[in-house]
Structure 1
């Protein structure tokens, strides 16, 4: 049997969409959105990163990320500091770290439910296949 590639692509997108909706809904309980939490997560992984680096890590344009990080800074979750030259570095505040940690707990619960239909071996295999497709081997 040959897999219809458009059907496969749609199934991947549908799974991603369901996860994003579930995460976005659940993250409201800790006072954030998926986009905001993802930005906090990227800053937490690479403190001092530039907007360009963080935009790439969160699959956004620099302009969209700049708008988002401006809101995060206004909420006291992120601090922007001057770096070398014109570079602006991004760091989490203590409040940002607490929000990120709360978001991790929520995400773990939501994703456990999303992947519950798969056995552990199937999850491992799926991750390996997706990493291969993304060139992350």
Structure 2
């Protein structure tokens, strides 16, 4: 039996909040298209795992106030949430990190096939984040 898009998206975000990249990867199709906010599209689980390793080095984040939406056919979904984070290590081209905290509204959009995420697109206001960590 195929799990609902809502269940898969919830498992993905639960794994994110637990810092469990392997559990996140288990929710993804092998040919995942990962659309990064203001970045390049990355194709495949290996590139997604590399992205997660980079993010774990630079940021400590927890997502709260999660609302998940599912399209009727179960092949599309979305989520709205708040990113509560700490900037741990300076990321290339961004302000210097020194443990600044931030709180940022964000959203993700998903395509799914056979219970696996085939596309994830995440959006947030980068200018808002830069302003928060530049204080």
The alignment's TM-score, normalised by the length of structure 1, stands at: 0.26
Structure holding more helix per residue: 1
Structure holding more strand per residue: 2
The alignment's TM-score, normalised by the length of structure 2, stands at: 0.27
